[in-house]
Amino acid sequence: GQQVMQIPQYQHVQEGEDFTTYCNSSTTLSNIQWYKQRPGGHPVFLIQLVKSGEVKKQKRLTFQFGEAKKNSSLHITATQTTDVGTYFCAGLQRLYGNKLVFGAGTILRVKS
Amino acid sequence: GAVVSQHPSRVICKSGTSVKIECRSLDFQATTMFWYRQFPKQSLMLMATSNEGSKATYEQGVEKDKFLINHASLTLSTLTVTSAHPEDSSFYICSARKPFSSGLSYEQYFGPGTRLTVT
């Protein structure tokens, strides 16, 4: 079945440093979505990428979708304490019934 | 935006009893809802896909007789954990997908989750 790998599992950065999390799918994806889950909270939709090579920005967050539509990354510039949480990528493959398959998530901790 | 509520937020029950969790889409009609289970510091594991007016589709390894799902209306899906055991203790999260409009969008809106503890 479809698998989505996400690394790193955990990252602890100093406030102001950059942060990147990477996702890799075993199959070509229809789209990839990113979610953020704060400690004790539920996943909140951040963005969806659909096109090959697509790049989208949300303030300090930059999302990329690979040319082959099998990998994606989320980059945060100059992290802040409010960025703390777990970032999940989720891949959607229509052949698998339009179900999202979540990566394992990257836990981000920011030291002030 | 899109708001999904879930009730209860926390529940403690005794082993052998059944627990019902409700998931509601408050400001949109959701033809498809999803039920996930999340263990501490782990990812979301899809349990089943719930379509309004039809039987739920369960993922491999999920017991349909144990986790009963009903999607009776476009705004409500329920998950009933029957004959709960301590190993069923977990964080259960539902999500809802908006109907497709112009341009396909598969983004999902998550409820706040229900923490189930079975003693």
Closest approach of B93 to chain A, Cα-based (Å): 8
Q: What is the pLDDT of residues A10-27, one digit of tens each?
A: 999 999 999 999 999 989
pLDDT for B105: 65
Rounded CA gap, B38 and B36, in Å?
Answer: 7
Give the amino acid at B11. Answer: V
Give the amino acid at A111. Answer: K
Q: Which residue is closest to B105 within chain A, CA to CA?
A: A48
Structure tokens at A48: 């969806």
Low-confidence ranges of chain B (pLDDT < 70): 1, 100-105
**Residue in A48, A99, A101 nearest the CB of B107:** A48
Is-contact B78 B95, C-beta < 8 A? no
Q: What is the pLDDT of residues A40-69, one digit of tens each?
A: 899 999 999 999 999 999 999 999 999 999
Structure tokens at B89: 């203790």
Q: Do A88 and B93 touch (CB under 8 A)?
A: no
Rounded to the nearest 5 degrees, what angle is found at the Cα of A86, between the Cα atoms of A17 and B60?
145
pLDDT for B47: 95
Q: Does B40 touch chain A (CB under 8 A)?
A: no
Q: Does B92 touch chain A (CB under 8 A)?
A: no
pLDDT for A96: 67
**Residue in A42, A99, A104 nearest the CB of B93:** A42
B chain contacts of residue A101, beta-carbon cutoff 8 Å: 46
Distances in Å between the Cα of B85 and the Cα atoms of A92, B15, B17, B20, B66 are 32, 5, 8, 14, 10
